Amino acid sequence: MVVYIFIYILDLQLSSKGSTWDEIDFEFLGNLSGDPYILHTNVFSQGKGNREQQFYLWFDPTADFHTYSILWNPQRIIFSVDGTPIREFKNMESLGVPFPKNQPMRIYSSLWNADDWATRGGLVKTDWTQAPFTASYRNFNADACVWSNGASSCKSNTSPSSASTNRAWFSQEMDSAKQQRLQWVQKNYMIYNYCNDAKRFPQGLPPECNMS
């Protein structure tokens, strides 16, 4: 999925329905003039999130269109910006970590008022005198398994290898160059990682945080 975004107060997500929904989020948080823009990411599985990672970007996202993409397959979720991976969430069901792979999800985009938490922890409120707020998209692309009559088109294949014949992303992973770019982003531009927030998890960090 590739989305081009020209506005920063934006929520873009893949989401299923129900009380145990799955969801994959890209969110641009509001800011004060002159402050860096924050790109907020989160992954929900079976209705449980609390897996936030936040980043500054190495460019002004309001100055031009950029490519924001989510690769989601049964093994991993990769968030990328202009082809550079910024986050990878791997399938760790073997550790008891639910992974979103069994529920169909739709693509949603919205502008919404999150001033109770998004900007400086809710200290900065939305300036409604600047309304209306808009978002623009260009060259949207999506390649996905189609859910119809209770079944996925990918599951009609006998194995992941046969599914990848026409859908390379179905078994795609990052090569060494992409891994290095991911490490560069997380070292230089990540500003929050739930796996480093021990105060938030007094009973112990989530199990995926203990994996390298």
Q: Active-site positions?
A: 23, 27
Question: In sequence order, what are the beta bridge partners of 110?
Answer: 11
Instruction: Say if CB 37 and CB 8 are below 8 A apart.
Output: yes
CA-nearest of 68, 56, 41, 58 to 137 is: 68
- The answer to whether residues 28 and 40 touch, using CB atoms and an 8 Å cutoff, is yes
Q: What is the DSSP string of 157-204?
A: SSSHHHHTTT-GGGG----HHHHHHHHHHHHHTEEEEGGG-GGG-TT-
Query: Of 116, 57, 53, whose CA–CA distance to 88 is shortest?
Result: 53
Q: Whose CA is closest to 79, among 50, 117, 41, 51?
A: 41
Instruction: Please choose, from the candidates 25, 172, 1, the residue with its C-alpha nearest in 3D space to the C-alpha of residue 90.
Output: 172
How far is residue 100's CA from residue 102's CA, in Å, rounded to a whole number?
6
Output phi, psi for 96, to 5 deg: 85, 15
